[in-house]
Structure 1
Amino acid sequence: MMSISNDDGGESLADRILDAAASCVLAFGIERVTLAEIARRAGVSRPTVYRRWPDTQSILAALLTARVTRVLVDVGERGVGRADLVARMVAVAQRLRQDEIVMSVLHTAPELAMVYIAERLGTSQQILIDALAGQLKLAQEHGSVRAGDPRQLAAMCLLITQSAVQSAQMVAPILDTEALAVELQHALNGYLKP
C-alpha cells in the first residue's frame, strides 16, 4: 500500500503534484484527469492538493505554464540582435512542438486549447510576451529590429509562432520539422526587419 505523505523530500511539493498531473495527462488524456488520481500519483492527500489549486483545471493550467516557462528558460537568451532573438523564438517553438504535454493539450483537448488560441491570453502567453518585449526593445536599440511598440511586436510574434506550433501537424507533408523552422525564421525575420 502506498503511503500518503506530505513530506516533499527535497523536491518541491508543487513540482511533485505537477509531475503527477503530467503523468495523468499522458496516461489518460487531459479530459480524464482527476484530482484524486493526481493526488494518488503525487503521494499526497486530496486536501493537500486543494490547498494549492481549487480544481483539476487550475492544476492543468499551472502545468502548462510550468512547461512553457521551463522551455523559455532552457533555451535561454542568445544575444541582443534580431538574428539571435529570432533563433530563440524558433528554438522555443521547436521545443514546445516536442513537449508531450503541450501537444497532448493541442491534439486531445482542442476546446481547452481554443480558449488560449482565440479567446484570451494565458499566463504562459503573457510570460512569453513580456520576455519577448524586453528583448525586442534591446534589439531596437541595437538597430536590428524595426521601430514599434515592443509589446505589440511581441504579441504579433507570439501569434506567428503559436500558429506554427499549433498547425505544424497539418502541414507536415509540406513542411517537415526542419523546413518549418526555416520558414518560421524567415517569417519572423521579415516581420521584424527594419
Structure 2
Amino acid sequence: MEERQPLGDATQTRILDAADDLLERRGVRGVTIAELARRSELSRPTIYRNWADADDVVRSTLLRRVERILSALPARVHTRAALVDDILLFTALFRRDPLFARLLADEPEAFTRYTLERVGSSQRLILQWLTTAIDTAQAQDSVRPAPPSEIAVMLLLVAQSAVLSHGTVSELISEDAWERELRAALDGLLRP
C-alpha cells in the first residue's frame, strides 16, 4: 500500500466528511468503500490509496472527532484543578458529540471495538494530552509525583469507564452527582 498523505489533504477531508455523515446516519455498518466513494464523489481506488479498508476510515473519522474535541479545550493547564476541569469538559463534549453519542446509545459494541479494545490513535492522542497536562501541573506541585504517562493511563481508564457506564447508572445517580463523584475520583487520583 502506498504511504498516506498527511491528514488534512482535501481528498482525505472529502472522504472523512462522507464517513462522518454515514456514521451519524447509518452507524458503523453503513460505512463501506462503495458508499464512501459515492458520497465523496471519488473513486474506490482513491479511497484505497489513503486507507486500507472501511474500518481504517472509521478509525480516522473517530480520531478526527477526538482531535476536534481536544482543540476545544484550553491550550495548557497549570494546576490539578484545571486539569480535572478539562477532563470533565472533555467527557461532556465527548458525550454531547452526535457521533459518539449515537455509537454509545445505538452501537455500544462498535463503540467498544473502536475505543476500548485496543489503544488506538484516539487514545494515544488523549494520553499525550493528559501526559503533557500532568507534567505541567506536577511542575507546579499540584499533582503527585509519579511518571505522568502512568497517571495519564489511569485517568483515561477512569474517564472512559465513567462515560461508557453513564447510561447504565443514569437512573441511580443524577447528572450533577455523576459529575461531582467523577470530579472527586479524578482529583483523588491526582492529589499529592
TM-score range, shorter chain: 0.7 to 0.9
Structure 2: stretches of 5+ with no match in the other structure: 1-7
Give the counterpart letter for 2:56 in structure 1. Answer: S
Q: Percent identity?
A: 37
Task: Pick from 70, 73, 79 the counterpart of residue 72 of structure 1.
Answer: 70
Output one character per residue of 1:2-32: Cα deviation in whole Å (capped at 9) or x when no partner: xxxxxxxx98221221111111112222123
Aligned residue pairs, count: 185
> What secondary structure sits across from 1:188 in the alignment?
helix
Structure-2 change in CA distance of 1:19 and 1:118 (3 Å): closer
Distance 1:28 1:107 in 2: 13
| Alpha-carbon separation, structure 2, partners of 1:13 and 1:178 | 43
The superposition leaves residues 38-67 of structure 1 with CA deviations (integer Å, 9 ceiling, x where unpaired) of 121112121111111111000000001110
Q: Structure 1 residues 27-36 or 176-185, which shifts more?
A: 176-185
Which residue is equivalent to 1:173?
171
178-187 vs 140-149, which moves further? 178-187
Give ranges in structure 1 of 5+ residues lacking alignment: 1-9
Q: CA RMSD in A?
A: 2.0
Match of 1:161 among 159, 162, 167: 159
User: Does 100-109 or 43-52 show the bigger shift?
Assistant: 100-109
Q: TM-score, normalised by structure 1?
A: 0.87
- Structure 1 residues 13, 118: CA separation in 2 closer, same or farther (over 3 Å shift)? closer
* Partner residue of 1:82 out of 72, 80, 83: 80
Q: Is the 8 A contact 2:28 2:110 kept in 1?
A: no
Amino acid at match of 2:41: G
**Equivalent position to 2:61, from 45, 60, 63:** 63
Q: Which runs of 4+ in 1 moved over 4 A?
A: none
What's the counterpart of residue 113 of structure 1? 111
- Summarize deviations over 1:158-185 as a string: whole Å, max 9, x none: 0000111111111122334443222211
TM-score (norm 2): 0.88
**Which residue number in structure 1 is paired with residue 21 of structure 2?**
23
Please name the residue that 1:134 is paired with: 132
Task: Compare 167-176 and 129-138 and name the one that shifted more.
Answer: 167-176
Provide the secondary structure at the position in 2 that maps to 1:160: helix
